[in-house]
Amino acid sequence: MAKKKHEDTREHLLAVGESVLRGKGFTAVGLAEILATAEVPKGSFYHYFPSKEHFGCAVLERYFSLYQLQMQALEAEYDCGSERLMHYWQGWLMSQGACHSANQCMVVKLSAEVADLSEPMREVFKQGTSDVIDRLASWLDEPRCDGALSPDMDAQSIALMLYQMWLGASLLTKIRQDSSALDTAMQTTCHLLGVK
């Protein structure tokens, strides 16, 4: 029973932490705010995490794990590689186009902020984004994305290019407060994948 409570409290702290960090960023939020929002005493926090940086890494690891589960769900739902990819990008368009912090991609929200401040957090971002790109590449390559990619196109390079484009479009969406950059990313993606 104690182990279950331990896991629940840790998970609760991570979920609340992600929500708070999505809204305010990493450096602007103190532990006191996270603990007050989570209604968890300070001593309990240090039972689970030795520092705010370790907590930040755990939040990001949880985020990427849940992200991979969402990608697995798309694999289970759509057999066709190109159909799966288009649902993935459509989901991105809908969630990031809203400009609400609750939906905000953690990579867009935090990566530039913490990359120079925390080497461990930068490494979590690096591994997490690499895993996403690898999965996208596998979708593009199965079997050659249902003929959408020509044989001379490298799936890994195309996956990296698409992911970079969508991250950049998400940043511009935050700056402009409209979804025009994401709409352009979708048009470019459709053109590249031969989707009408």
Cβ neighbours of residue 105 under 8 Å, at least 6 residues apart? 92, 95, 96, 167, 170
**What is the mean pLDDT of the segment spanning 126-136?**
97
Q: Is residue 9 part of a domain?
A: no
Indicate whether 28 belongs to any domain: no
Collect all residues with Cβ–Cβ distance below 8 Å to 63 and sequence separation of at least 6: 18, 106, 128
Q: Which of 180, 67, 167 is nearest to 107 (CA)?
A: 167
- Alpha carbon distance 2, 54 (integer Å): 23
Question: Total structural domains in the chain?
Answer: 1
Whether residue 194 contacts residue 160, with contact meaning beta carbons closer than 8 Å, is answered with no
Look at residue 51 and tell me if it is in a domain: no
In this structure, is residue 64 part of a structural domain? yes
- Looking at the chain, the whole-number percentage of residues with pLDDT higher than 90 is 65
**Residue 101 in this model has a pLDDT that exceeds 80:** no
Range of the domain at 174: 57-193
Residue 50 lies in a domain: no
Confidence of residue 152 (pLDDT cuts 50, 70, 90): confident
Cβ-based neighbour number of residue 157 at 10 Å:
12
Instruction: Give a yes or no: residue 126 inside a domain.
Output: yes
The pTM assigned to this predicted structure is: 0.89
**78-95 pLDDT tens trace:** 887 788 899 999 999 888
In a domain, 49, yes or no: no
Residue 82 in any domain: the answer is yes
Backbone φ and ψ for 18, nearest 5 degrees, come out as -60, -45
Residue 78 belongs to a domain with what CATH number? 1.10.357.10
